């Protein structure tokens, strides 16, 4: 890969992060950062999950995750219980407040994508999705 190829990929990355607002301090005009929302996503979809699994799924630093979880706990967004199989392990779940907050963010994200795509016709949307799937398939072959 030459410098020109690298420059094109980096230009696309800059463009896309701007389009979806990833560089905004808080995601979707919320009080949460992108990493916080990703942690919330993993907890919401797992129902109950331990911190080690979250760090593995997100490739996130343990101490950073610990700070995020502490913040969530102080805000009443999560609940912790001991794992029946290993009492040393804490299982994390969203509280009712946390689940509502996540669902609000998820809806805002859906609306953001709908707003971005509203000026595209069906053929353009299908072409975009096809290209995104191709990018995902190619990049999934890269081992980290």
* Phi, psi (degrees; rounded to nearest 5) at 68: -65, -45
pLDDT at 144 over 70: no
pLDDT digits (tens, 9 = 90+) for 57-102: 999 999 999 999 999 999 999 999 998 888 889 999 999 999 999 9
For residue 143, the model assigns a pLDDT of 65
What is the number of H-type helices and E-type strands within the chain? 6, 3
pLDDT at site 62: 96
Phi, psi of 14 (to 5 degrees): -65, -45
Answer positive or negative: Cα dihedral of 52, 54, 60, 64. negative
Mean pLDDT calculated for residue range 121-141:
95
Structural domains of the chain sorted by starting position, each given as residue range(s) with its CATH number in brackets = 25-139 (1.10.10.10)
Per-residue pLDDT for 105 more than 70? yes
């Amino acid at each position: 890969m030459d410098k020109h190829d690298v420059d094109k990929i980096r230009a696309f990355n800059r463009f896309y992060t701007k389009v979806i607002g990833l560089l905004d301090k808080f995601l979707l005009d919320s009080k949460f950062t992108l990493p916080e929302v990703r942690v919330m996503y993993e907890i919401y979809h797992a129902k109950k999950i331990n911190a080690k699994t979250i760090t593995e799924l997100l490739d996130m630093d343990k101490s950073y995750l610990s700070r995020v979880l502490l913040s969530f706990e102080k805000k009443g967004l999560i609940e912790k219980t001991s794992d029946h199989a290993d009492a040393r392990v804490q299982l994390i779940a969203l509280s009712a407040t946390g689940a509502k907050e996540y669902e609000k963010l998820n809806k805002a994200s859906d609306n953001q994508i709908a707003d971005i795509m509203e000026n595209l016709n069906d053929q353009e949307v299908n072409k975009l999705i096809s290209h995104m799937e191709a990018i995902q398939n190619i990049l999934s072959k890269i081992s980290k």
